[in-house]
Structure 1
Amino acid sequence: MTMSDLPDQFLYARKGPWPQPSPSHPLICADEVLNIPPMEALLFNEAIGARYLQARIGYPAYAAQYSAAVSSWKGVTLARFNEIMTTTLFTRFRVRMQDEEIAACRKAFADEQDIIDDLNSGLWTKYDFTAMKLIDPLEGMYVAPTKVFFREDAQGRNCCRIIEVDGLLMRDTDSSFGIAMVYGLQGASYHVLFVVHPALHFPMNSVNAITKTALPMNHPIFQMFAPHSAYSLALDNAVLESAESVVNNNAQGTRFDPLTGNAYNLKLLFGAGYSGLTAEKGYDPVAYPEYDYMNPQYSNAQHPLFDTFYGNWLARYFEDAFLPFCTVVADYIKQNGDMLAYTRLWARYLNTHVRGFPGAEQIAEGDTLARVMAIYMWNGSVSHGGDHWSFSNQITAVEKCLRIRRAPPETRNEAPVDNEKDPIFSPNDMQRAALCQYMFFQAWAIQPNLVDTKYALPIPGLLQAAAEFNQNLKKVNQALLKTVPASDDPLGPTAVTNCQPLEPIESTPRQSVPYERTIPQSIQY
C-alpha cells in the first residue's frame, strides 16, 4: 500500500488537534489537547453530554433516597474492608512494605506479642496513600495521609492488620480501627480518581491527536486506533477544562460534585500519577512511580504484587488477545517502506509528548511497535472500562468516603464509626456521591462495544487477524467470567459477575448485565 502525502489523505488535512502543556500544572501533568475538532465535540455532546443532562434532571430523586438509606451508616467491617481492598481495582496499589515501616510497627506494638509475631513472619504489603496530604480540603472536611498494611498468610489470604493515619499506627483490635478504615477507603478512592485512572486517560490524548493529524487515513495504525479514539479528546477536555467538571475549580457549585477540594489542588494528584513522587519529597517512589507508556499496569514481571484476580484479568486480555493481533499488523507495517517511514515520524512526535513512548529509532525494534499498538487499544477498552466497572459495581457510593467530616483519629481508642452519633458525611454529601456515581463512575458503553468493533484493514490477511482477535476476546472472557450471587443487602455491591463482561448477560432481572455495562470500545465515560 502506498502512503500519500496529499493533505486530503489525512483526517483533518494535517490541521488537526495537537498536544500542548497542561494549563494547570505544565511541569508535572500530561500534555493536554485543548483545541477539539468541532466534529468530535458535536459527537461527544450528542452521545455523552446529552446523558449527563438527562441524569442531572432525573436522577436527584434517587440520589436523595440513597442518601436517606445510608444515613445511619456505621462504616465497614474488617471482612468487607479486606474484600474491597483485595478483590477490586484497589489492588492496583499493592506494593511491598518497607523495612523501616515494619520497624516502626514493631516499635509501636512492642508490648503486643501476637502482632510482633506476625510482623516477623509472612509477606507484608501496603497500600500507600500518603499523597493525600497534597489535598487542601474544603471547610469542615478532612483528609489524611494514610497507609494500609496487609499480611499474607501461608494460604495466600490477605488481611489488613495495621493502618497508619497521619502518623498514628492502629491495629485491627483498636476501637479507632473503624475510622482508620474509612480514611483508608478515602485514600484509595482519591488515588483511583486522581492518580492511577487519569494515567489511562490523559497521556493517551497525545497518541490520539497525533495519530489523527500525522498519519494518513489508510495507514494501518490509524485504522487500528480510529475505533478506539472517537470520544476521548472531547471527553477528556470536558473533564479537565469544563466549567462544570467535578475536577474544576467551581465544581462545588453543582449538585453532583462529591469531592473535597478545588480542581487546581486536586490536580496535583494527576501530577503524582504522571511525573511520580520521589523519596526526596518524603514519598515511597515504588508507590508513586513515574508514568511509562511501555510499562502499563497489569500482572507481569514488572508488577509482581499485582498478581491478583484483577491484575490477571487485565493481563489475559493484553497478552492473549490484543498483543497477538497487533503483532500481525505491526509485522505488515514493518515490511512496507512508506508505512514504516510514517510510523517513525509518528513515533518521533510522540516521544516528545508522552513519557516512555519509544522514538523513531526504537519503534521498529523487536515487538516494540506491536506493544505500542496493543497498549493503546487495550488501555482505552479493557483497562479503562474495567476500572469503571469495578469502582462502581464493586464499591458502593458510601464506601468511597469521598467526603469525611470526622477528624482523623488522634488515639487508638476512639469511638466506632456511627454516622448518626458522629457524622462522617452530610445528606447533601451523599446525594452528590450517588449522583456522581451514576453520571461519571458507572460504565456506559456506547454501541459498538469492544467485541462488536470492526477494523477497516486493507488486506485479507489482516482481516483474518481481526477475526481471530475477536475469537480470542471471547475465549478470555469465557475463561475469566464467573456469575456470582448478587448481594441481598440493598447497600451492598450490585455486581453479579467478578469482572466486567465482554457481552451482555441475560438471566433474571437481578442478575442481568446490559449492553452498556460491557467492555467499551473506547474511552467514552
Structure 2
Amino acid sequence: MEPKDFLYGRKGPWPQPCPDHPYGESPGVIHLPLGEWIDWWSTVGLRFIIQWPLFTPIYFLQGLFNPGLKKVTDEEFHQYLTNSMMARFITPKMDEVDKKIFASHMKEGKDYYVVDLEPVRVVQLFKGIHASPTKTLLVKTDFEKFEVVCVYMEKTETVLVPADGDAWELAKYFVLQGGALCATMVVHPLQHFPMDSINAITKTALPKEHTLFKLLHAHMRFTLPLENAVLNFKMSLLHDDKWWKTYAPFPGPYHGIRDLLVEGYRGIRNNDSYPPFTYPRRPPKIYSGYGVFLDAYFEDIYAFVSEVTKTITPGDTCVRDWANYIAQWIPGFPNGKEIFEGTTLTEVVAFYLWDVTVGHTIDHHNYGQMDVRKVALRIRQEPPKKGTKMKSLKKLQSPIDLMKYKLAMRLFFRPTVMTRLIDVDYGFKDQNLVEAQKVFKQNLRATDKKLKEQGLTYMDLNDIANTIQF
C-alpha cells in the first residue's frame, strides 16, 4: 500500500505522554492535522467564543438575584445518588475501613453498599470554600433499589444520619459536591482520554478503505481537537487559574482538580472502588436503572459490530499492527495476537463505539439536567459534625459561584450535539454491511421505544451524539 491509501499519508496523529502529567494521566495526542483544527474551531470552538461573553453577564445577574443553594430533600438526595450518573459509585465492595466506620449502622441479614468519594481528598481549596471526602452507606431494598442509611464525613470523622438535623442537611450538599467532582473529573475522563490513542492510531495506521477504519472513523470527528483543548489550552478549566475565567466553577485551583484525573487513571491504593484503568470489554456494572439503560444500547452496538467484524479475515495484517500499536499505549488493550482470539475484536471495538456515543453523551446529558443550586461545586461552610448549625442557604454559594457554574454548564458540561448517532453513515460498499447498518438503526429505535415503555427515560435516542464532541 502507498501513503495515499491512508487518511494522512501515514503522517497522522499519534499518542505521546501527556505533557502535564506524563506518569499520572492517559497518553495524549498533541500534534494534530490542520484540517481537524479548522473543523473544530468553525463549529465547537466557535460556539465557545460566542457564548462565553454573551452569557457571563446574564448568569451573573441570575446569581445576584437568586443566590445560594436550594433545599435538597432526602428523596432528592436518594435519587441523585442512586438514579443518575452518580450511581456509578455504588459498589458492594466494602473494604475494611468502610466496615469499621459503619459497623454500628449495619444489621445482620441486610445487603449493604457504599458510595465512596475518597478522591476529593486531593482537591486544594480556595479561601472560604470547603469540600470533604465522604462515604455513604446504602442498604439494598429490592433489585438495584437502595435506601440511604448514613453519611461519613472524613474531614470531621463523623457519621451523620437523617435525625441529625442541620448537620445532616449540610452533609447532603457535601456528598453531592463530591459526587459531582468525582463523576466529572475522576470517572468521566476515562471515557475521554484513553480513547484518544485509538482515535489517533486508527487514522494513521489503518487504510481508508479497510472495514475497521470505516467502522471506527465514523465516530471520531471533533474529538482530538476537543481533548487537546481541554488538556492543554491556557483557557481550559484544567489549565491555570485566572480571574477572567468566568466559567471556572471548581472549588480550588487546577492543580488539585487535575489530580482528580490521576486518581481515576492510576487508581487509589487499598481502595477497591478505584482500581487502575484497564481497557474494558463491556460497560462497567452500574447498580441502577441508569446501568440498565446503558447496557441496553451496548447490546445493540455489540450485535452490529459483531456483524461487521465477521467480514475481517483472522490474522489481518492491518488489524494486527493496529492492535499492537494501541496495546503499547492503553493498559489492558489486546495485542496483535490476542485481538483475534474468540470475540476479542468485537468486544474492544463495540466498547469504543458505545463509549464515545451512548456512554459519553448520557453522562453529559444527565449532569446537565442537575440543579446547580442543589448539586453545588462550591460550598461556603465547613463540613458538619454532630450539632453543626447550617448557615442560611443564600450564604452557602455566592453570585460569582453560581455565575461560573451556570456558564460551565452551558459551555462544557451540558451537551451540544453536532452529529447524531442515529444519522451515522459508515460508507460501507459491501451490501451486507450496508444492510447491517440499516438493521443497527432499527434496533436502536426499538431499544429507545422499549426503554421508554419501561420508564427508563434518561435521554432520547435522537439526542445521543455520534462522537465525543463536548
TM-score by length of 2: 0.95
Which has the higher mean CA deviation after the structures are superposed, 218-227 or 54-63? Answer: 54-63
2:303 paired residue number? 324
2:102 counterpart SS class: helix
| Contact 1:102/1:119, CA 8 A, preserved across alignment | no
- The residue type equivalent to 1:186 in the other structure is Q
1:126 counterpart SS class: strand
What CA distance in whole angstroms lies between the structure 2 residues aligned with 1:99 and 1:401? 30
What CA distance in whole angstroms lies between the structure 1 residues aligned with 2:434 and 2:243? 49
Cα RMSD, aligned residues only? 1.9
- Counterparts of 1:58-457 in structure 2, within 5 Å, are 58-68=54-64, 70-96=66-92, 97-98=94-95, 100-107=97-104, 116=105, 119-153=107-141, 157-166=145-154, 167-175=157-165, 176-279=167-270, 284=271, 286-298=272-284, 303=285, 306-319=286-299, 321-334=300-313, 340-393=316-369, 395-409=370-384, 411-416=385-390, 418-420=392-394, 423-447=395-419, 449-457=420-428
Residue 155 of structure 1 deviates from its aligned partner by 7.6
Query: Are the structure 2 counterparts of residues 74 and 466 from structure 1 closer, same or farther at C-alpha, using a change threshold of 3 Å?
Result: closer
2:461 paired residue number? 502
What CA distance in whole angstroms lies between the structure 2 residues aligned with 1:386 and 1:419? 30
| Contact 1:178/1:417, CA 8 A, preserved across alignment | no
Residue 172 of structure 1 deviates from its aligned partner by 1.7
2:312 counterpart SS class: helix
1:162 counterpart SS class: strand
Query: Are the structure 2 counterparts of residues 63 and 347 from structure 1 closer, same or farther at C-alpha, using a change threshold of 3 Å?
Result: same
1:34 paired residue number? 30
- The residue type equivalent to 1:14 in the other structure is R
Please list every run of 5 or more consecutive structure 2 residues that lacks an aligned counterpart in the other structure.
none
Residue 358 of structure 1 deviates from its aligned partner by 0.5
| Contact 2:88/2:287, CA 8 A, preserved across alignment | no
1:21 paired residue number? 17
1:355 counterpart SS class: coil
TM-score by length of 1: 0.85
1:59 counterpart SS class: helix
| Contact 2:36/2:222, CA 8 A, preserved across alignment | yes
Residue 99 of structure 1 deviates from its aligned partner by 5.3
| Contact 1:130/1:145, CA 8 A, preserved across alignment | yes
Q: 1:193-249 deviations in whole A, cap 9, x for unaligned?
A: 111100000000000000000111011111011121011100001011111111112
| Contact 2:144/2:289, CA 8 A, preserved across alignment | no
| Contact 2:138/2:146, CA 8 A, preserved across alignment | yes
Query: Are the structure 2 counterparts of residues 370 and 33 from structure 1 closer, same or farther at C-alpha, using a change threshold of 3 Å?
Result: same
2:340 counterpart SS class: coil
- The residue type equivalent to 2:221 in the other structure is A
* Structure with more contact order per residue of length (Cα contacts < 8 Å, sep ≥ 6): 2
What CA distance in whole angstroms lies between the structure 2 residues aligned with 1:378 and 1:522? 10
2:431 paired residue number? 460
Identity %: 28
Query: Are the structure 2 counterparts of residues 452 and 251 from structure 1 closer, same or farther at C-alpha, using a change threshold of 3 Å?
Result: farther
Q: 1:278-304 deviations in whole A, cap 9, x for unaligned?
A: 11xxxx1x2101112134434xxxx3x
Aligned pair count reads: 466
What CA distance in whole angstroms lies between the structure 1 residues aligned with 2:114 and 2:309? 39
Please list every run of 5 or more consecutive structure 1 residues that lacks an aligned counterpart in the other structure.
108-115, 485-496, 504-517
What CA distance in whole angstroms lies between the structure 2 residues aligned with 1:378 and 1:211? 17
Query: Are the structure 2 counterparts of residues 464 and 192 from structure 1 closer, same or farther at C-alpha, using a change threshold of 3 Å?
Result: same
| Contact 2:282/2:347, CA 8 A, preserved across alignment | no
1:28 counterpart SS class: coil
Q: 1:161-217 deviations in whole A, cap 9, x for unaligned?
A: 211112221112112111111110111001111111000000000000000001110
